[in-house]
Structure 1
Amino acid sequence: MKYLQISFYACVLFVTCLTAQNKQITLEEIWNGTFRTERMDVLHSMANGQQYSVFNFNRSTRSTSVDIYDYKTLEKVETLVDSREIDELDYFTNYTFSKDESKLILATNETSVYRHSVLGNYFVYNVDDKTLISIADEKIQEPTFSPDGTKVAYVYKNNIYIKELSTGVTTQVTTDGEKNKIINGITDWVYEEEFAFVRAFEWNTDGDKIAFIRFDETNVPEFSMDLYGESLYPTQQVFKYPKAGEANSLVSLHFYDLTTKGTKTVKVNKSYNDFYIPRIKWTNNANILSAHYLNRKQNELDLWFIDAEENSASLVLAETDKAYVDVTDNLTFLEDNSFIWTSEKDGYNHIYHYSNNGDLINQVTTGNWEVTAYYGYDEKSDRIFYQSVENGSINRDVYSVKLNGRSKKRLSQLEGTNHAEFSADFSFFINTFSNTKTPPVYTLNKATTGEIIKPIKDNKALLQQLSNYNLSEKEFSTISVNGNDLNMWMLKPSNFDANKSYPVLMFQYSGPGSQQVANQWLNANDFWYQHLAQQGYIIVCIDGRGTGFKGADFKKVTYGQLGKYEVEDQIAAAKQLAELSFVDKTRIGIWGWSYGGFMSSNCLFKGNDVFKMAIAVAPVTSWRFYDTVYTERYNGLPQENPEGYDDNSPINHVEKLRGDFLLVHGTADDNVHVQNTMRLVESLIQADKQFDWAIYPDKNHGIYGGNTRLHLYKKMTNFLNENLGDKIK
């Protein structure tokens, strides 16, 4: 009941702020953290399921610690490790436990490599005797405890090493690692970016074998970026980047046996011409490894069980799709080595239970809705915990269900976005709830019923602060476009007058499986939209065909023609909006970032009869410039589908530009290369088209750091005011 009162208070307060106050949001406030929400520290559930650990930073002492808390009381039980008590470390920035929680790996001096990967100095801290051991003198990657906590495996300069903690002896497992040629145990750039993992080695349950993936990048083309810095001469970053249709790394799977110190190369009894290994995971059997093999077209996904002793492989499961098969992290092995799997094979993403030889036992969830997160399986209660959109595709709720698919329970209570973090024994979960009127509220809940045990943290202070501002409410609806009811939100000025005529700015991302129309708390862009609404703009966001959580057919209709149906939907929607009495049809603009920038460029060019202006930030301008894994998953190979690449790329439609166009990119974007913008600029110049553009030196795909983000949004706001809002009174 307390929680319901908090949410009711939040809603009342928000409504109050909609009607009572007139303070205007400034761009400086958006980007200096004024509207930042309080959030829960990243926590790790302890093995006993009754406690959790939290990484804490003490601002007054500039020290860090790992503290243990009790789930039921939420009180601190003890400090496990504090950097103030370690002479060798001023601070640490991350930590991981050994399986028995007697040791921790502490990270310091971490520096980013790409989106997910880091290099750092790492130490093993012993909880019992408070001793500290350096894992390596050099900066290394992905240090990982063996199951018994006596060893640590890691990667240094593309080779795998194992350190015996009791003796300090380090064994080098591989020797052929070389920059931009051979990588052992760490993924290459495109795997990291598109398959979203870095560590490509795994200990088995007995700790006597390591499985690892080897990447041979030798034939992958190199990409180079100039880094301007502050020195007299710029430097250059050179890395392997396979663009669509070009050579990928040759991947192979291997076993290293710690007893024999020998390495085996895995062979499966199926011929793959060109393939990926996007996931490996040991089963509960110490000799059996599971591995995903995915063909280059990504429409055939095979699950193999590989015997490390016999070096033999069995094909357990094969998924095929006319478009593509998504790779997930949901594979879970039960005690009998039967396993949980998620799949879209019935048209919606659902949970399945298979035997240890791949026979389907049952489909656990079913319906015309999507499972959006799989949280895990509790052997004791025989229940699976998951998140889904059963309560509408813009909402998220937490559920539990028996392994046989019966006795389903909704565990979350309020409409909006709910996300759960479960204790190790599935006794409790911390639920994070928000919607467009309520910033994140954290509660401790019983996993059996969802009952709220106690509130943990809310953002009443932020709501109180926002009550001083003149804010508008997001209005959710659907719009019928090209035979589909598309999710939409609209933000109107708080003093909206239906008898007046307003300029409209449309925002979208539109990438495959994405979602922007969601019932959740405001992000920084939402506060920018509030700023624009205060100036007299209407903001609209529409998730068109190709976006997610409405079934596989809706998502995959764009396969092979990226940018065709998505652009058609935005143009058609804009034309419908133009017919509204309160919309000035001569002043409709559109903007987006990354895939959204690709879209906004295309919409301005192809929809030149409806869009007056567009802003494109870090856009793909030709799919021929983007990486193999992402582009070929959704568009096929360019050698086999040249029209799908060229017909819908903005670079080939510049002659249609009639409106105002702002193009923005960072020069150190290792993801969507600034080459995209430079080639589009040259095409626009040769077509004698005028446009505006901005280049941010040494900034990556996110274009941030120091004053950068504020500068960017000032530029975009000024561009809007000059070209879309010039008639706002």
Structure 2
Amino acid sequence: MLSGDYKYIALESNYTKKWRHSYTASYSIYDRERSTFVTPVTLPTVVQYFTWAPTGHTYVNFNIFFKADVGAEAVQVTHNGKKNEILNGVPDWVYEEEVFASNGAIWWSSTAKFLAYLEFNDTEVHKVEFSWFGSEQYPQTVSVPYPKAGSSITKVKLFVVDTSNLSRRTQVVAPASVSSGDHILCSVTWVTDERVAVQWLTRKQNHVVVQIYDFDGSSWREKQVTYVPLPLFFAEDNLSFYKVMSDPQGYKHIHYVKNGKATPITSGKWEVIYISKLTRDAIYFVSNEYQGVPVKRNLYKLMIGGSTSAPQCLTCDLFPDRCQYNSAYFSSDASYYRMDCYGQLHPPPRVPPALLSNDSSMVNISILEDNKDLENILTEFQMPKMQYDMWYQLMLPPNFKKSKKYPLLIDVYGGPCSQKVNYRFKLNWGAHLSSTHGIIIASFDGRGSGYQGDEIMHAIYKRLGTFEVEDQITAVRKFIDMGFIDKDRIAIWGWSYGGYVTSMALGAGTGLFKCGIAVAPVAKWEYYDAVYTERYMGMPTDNSDAYTNSTVTARARNFKTVDYLLVHGTADDNVHFQQAAQISKALVDEQVDFETMWYTDKDHALGGSAYRHAYNLMSHFLQKCLHNPK
């Protein structure tokens, strides 16, 4: 991790994973000018979060500590931090997983004059407890504050500290329109050294306030309020901004927001995925506009400041035979960008970085990785062939013949705003099953999926477990109609939300599926975290019928006609083992025979040796199911 002045490098060691994004580590500081390590380090051996400031740095261990220089003594900024109760500068479980997707909640102003941080108060949040079996005589108990649907959620406060006088700490107060009830802080964006934009969200997550605050010398006062979602890219006036939001036709497009009025500057029946970079005269963004195909991603440049020209695609014609799913990472002044080409199944992708010059022409500087070695290796193997449609993708076995009948495996996720079908290079378990065992692997994006307009995405709002499940079943019938699917050898599998959809589809009692595999599935939405669940289902008290009708356990009796493999880690902090335990209990109550595998002390990802074991287990299960007569 390079310091802002490029003089020092923070080297990380003793990495210990906590949740999806968080971890603890030790840090050594290397002086680049002297070519030696800084001693003494004066950093704790266990640090929750480390960040360089534009000058100086901070670290976190439930409290925030500030060092003005690498050799300076650390000054404690906060003093009330306590495990599972108060966290400063690092998010609690639900904010890490569902809001920030990060292990830090610290934001420096551009010159490090101010440091903004969040205080997370979990004292009223119910805790989930699970056993960590380890190797000791007695298991340990892991306790995690985890707000479930309808329960008390985390309370947050935003503070700003003056780094020239660390005792000067000012709270940035939420606006009255959200502070009257439970609320969520979405993002913090420094506009200038003395202007900060904060996005506040009501608990229902149907009302977002962008509040801009100015420092008046003693406090942060409200400057302007706008009601739009995140994220924000501020214009040169440091008050107006650009952001991606739904247009009147229900497609995500870039809007210019000034004085509370949002004006779309892109339009069409396609979606802007995200803004990559904003400069004085242009916006660079990634969209799925090209050829009207939502499974593609390309980088575009749109001139601003009075220009009426259409967006220019910068990647559409670069390696069109292999690069139709791209992203870009820009240098600070947007003179250069690294283009990442995620390619298609065959041939494997290449990654051509490119130069953007002032006249919008591009010059490839160098190929950082062309994957030629991988391409040569893959020539020795029979690879499956991909077949795409706007809604589905099929992975067909080598030497596929339409006149034959093949077993079918539905690979599903199905969660809100997800996309399973895309032009990314895939060399995964499905490719192995297709090339080695002659199984067709199919994925389908139905109602509830993303990047095809709000009408499709919002179809499952407040009704999870309905249309996204029904559409997978409908897709199977369409695949059978293609003529090369053996209708007696059809399976479905998924992980997390995909495990939920798998279980709901098997429990629908259609007779279409011979078997299915659910890894870490949700059983009941009341058991899942409040931020995610209430975003799509509302509060249980306001939508009780939908909560009741969306459970896997209520469909347990229908599992008598299918083969079912249920897989879960006992230390899953995300979708708790409780979910699989409830499915198991319901199946036993209905006298259903099924197969299970619990992975001791493994979390949602089933890392380490469990990962390989799980895929071997699932492969054997599918071989029994799909290669034996029904």
- Offset at residue 135 of structure 1 (A): 4.9
Q: In the aligned structure 2, how far is the partner of 1:218 from the partner of 1:607?
A: 44
Aligned counterparts of 1:726 and 1:668: Cα–Cα separation in 2: 35
2:326 aligned residue? 418
Cα contact 2:174–2:200 (8 A) shared by 1: no
Does 1:265 find its partner at 2:171? yes
Q: 1:269 to 1:469 in 2, by over 3 A?
A: closer
- Structure 1 equivalent of residue 9 of structure 2: 104
SS of 1:606's equivalent in the other structure is coil
- SS of residue matched to 1:96: coil
Q: Which has the higher contact order (CA 8 A, sep 6+)?
A: 1
Aligned residue in 2 for 1:230: 135
What corresponds to 1:462 in structure 2? 374
- Give the distance between the partners of 1:163 and 1:435, measured in 2 at CA: 47
Matches within 5 A, 1:670-689: 670-689=573-592
Per-residue CA deviations over 1:195-230 (Å, capped at 9, x if unaligned) read 112221222234232222111100100111211122
What SS class does the counterpart of residue 596 from structure 1 fall into? Answer: helix
The aligned counterpart of 1:490 is: 394
Q: Tell me, in whole angstroms, the C-alpha distance in 2 between the residues paired with 1:604 and 1:333.
A: 51
Partner of residue 190 from structure 2, selected from 282, 295, 307: 282
For the residue of structure 2 that corresponds to 1:597, the secondary structure is helix
The runs of 5 or more residues in structure 1 that have no matched partner are: 1-94, 320-324, 479-486
Aligned to 2:433: 529
Q: 1:429 to 1:266 in 2, by over 3 A?
A: closer
Match of 1:430 among 313, 324, 338: 338
Contact in 1 for aligned 2:244/2:274 (Cα 8 Å): no
In the alignment, which of 252, 277, 284 is matched to residue 376 of structure 1?
277
Establish whether residue 574 from structure 1 lines up as the match of residue 476 from structure 2: yes
Q: Which residue of structure 1 lines up, in the alignment, with residue 387 of structure 2?
A: 475
- Identify the residue that residue 140 of structure 1 maps to in structure 2: 47
Matched, 1:249 2:154: yes
Secondary structure at the counterpart of residue 557 of structure 1:
helix
2:494 matches 1:592: yes
State whether residues 579 and 585 of structure 1, in contact with CA within 8 Å, keep that contact through their aligned partners in structure 2. Answer: no
1:303 match: 210
Q: Is the 8 A contact 1:122 1:135 kept in 2?
A: no
Aligned to 2:19: 114
**1:710/1:125 CA distance change after superposition, 3 Å:** closer
Contact 1:608/1:656 (CA < 8 Å) preserved in 2? no
Give the counterpart of 1:441 among 344, 350, 369.
Answer: 350
Aligned to 1:18: none
5 Å-filtered alignment, 1:35-54, equals: none
Distance 1:255 1:460 in 2: 50
C-alpha distance in structure 2 between counterparts of 1:129 and 1:456, whole Å: 30
1:308-361, Cα deviation, whole Å (9 max, x unpaired): 333322342103xxxxx5x44x53453644322221243222222234x4444x
Equivalent position SS for 2:550: coil
Question: Residue 131 of structure 2: SS of its match in structure 1?
Answer: strand
Partner of 1:155: 60
Are 1:293 and 2:293 matched, yes or no?
A: no
Distance in 1, matches of 2:158 and 2:572, equals 31
Q: Which residue of 2 aligns with 1:191?
A: 95
AA in 2 matched with 1:723: C
Runs of 4+ in 1 over 6 A off after TM superposition: none
Partner residue of 1:397 out of 298, 302, 305: 298
Q: Any idea what the Cα deviations from partners look like across 1:436-467, whole Å, max 9, x if unmatched?
A: 22323121312232443443321222222222
Are residues 239 and 333 of structure 1, via their aligned partners in 2, closer, same or farther at CA, if it must alter by over 3 Å? farther
The residue aligned with 1:510 is 414
**Candidates 488, 509, 517, aligned match of 1:615:** 517
Residue aligned with 1:438, SS: coil
Q: Is the 8 A contact 2:233 2:278 kept in 1?
A: no
SS of alignment partner, residue 350 of structure 1: strand
Unaligned runs of 5+ in 2: none
TM-score relative to the length of structure 1: 0.80
Q: Which amino acid aligns with 2:283?
A: I
- TM-score of the superposition, structure 2-length normalised? 0.92
Question: Which amino acid in the other structure matches residue 698 of structure 1?
Answer: D
Task: Indicate if the aligned counterparts of 1:537 and 1:725 stay in contact, CA closer than 8 A.
Answer: no
Secondary structure of 1:498's counterpart equals coil
Asked whether the equivalents of residues 443 and 452 of structure 1 are also in contact (C-alpha less than 8 Å), the reply is yes
Change (3 A) 1:166 1:439: closer
Counterpart-to-counterpart distance in 2, 1:453 and 1:173: 45
Aligned twin of 2:545: 643
In the other structure, the counterpart of 2:284 is 385
Structure 1 residue 502, shift from structure 2 partner: 2.3
Give the percent of matched residue pairs that are identical in Structure 1 and Structure 2. Answer: 32
Q: Is the 8 A contact 1:268 1:313 kept in 2?
A: no
Give the SS at the match of 1:439.
coil
Tell whether 2:470 aligns with 1:564: no
Matches within 5 A, 1:190-209: 190-195=94-99, 196-209=101-114
Shift of residue 176 of structure 1?
Answer: 0.9
User: Within 2, Cα distance between the matches of 1:313 and 1:713?
Assistant: 54
- Answering whether residue 126 of structure 2 is matched by residue 221 of structure 1, we say yes
Take 2:30 and 2:599, find their aligned partners in 1: how far apart are those partners?
42
Q: Is the 8 A contact 1:608 1:659 kept in 2?
A: no
Q: Does the 8 Å CA contact 2:251/2:454 hold for their aligned counterparts?
A: yes
For 1:493 and 1:105, the matched residues in 2 are separated by 48
Greater CA deviation, 410-419 or 590-599?
410-419
**Would you say the 8 A contact 1:268–1:312 is kept in 2?**
no
Contact 2:3 2:53 in 1 (8 A): no
1:546 pairs with one of 430, 448, 465:
448
Residue type of the alignment partner of 1:281: T
Q: Give the match for residue 555 of structure 2.
A: 653
Distance 1:544 1:120 in 2: 42
Secondary structure, aligned partner of 1:455: coil
Deviation at 1:509, TM superposition (A): 0.5
The AA in structure 1 aligned to 2:314 is L
The 1-side partners of 2:441 and 2:71 are apart by 63
CA distance in 1: counterparts of 2:224 and 2:195, whole angstroms: 13
Change (3 A) 1:453 1:259: closer
Question: 2:502 & 2:29 partners in 1: Cα distance?
Answer: 49
User: 1:399 corresponds to which letter in structure 2?
Assistant: Y
Alpha-carbon separation, structure 2, partners of 1:231 and 1:524: 36
- Cα distance, 1:511–1:276 mapped onto 2, change above 3 Å: same
| Alpha-carbon distance in structure 2 between the residues aligned to 1:348 and 1:499 | 41
Task: Please give the per-residue CA displacement for 1:112-152, whole angstroms capped at 9, x wherever unaligned.
Answer: 221111212224433333451525133123222333x2x22
Tell me the equivalent position of 1:58: none
Q: CA–CA distance in 2 between the matches of 1:364 and 1:105? A: 41
Number of aligned residues: 607
* Aligned-residue CA RMSD (Å): 2.0
Whether the 8 Å CA contact 2:227–2:260 is kept in 1: the answer is no
Query: In the alignment, which residue of structure 1 is the partner of 2:604?
Result: 701
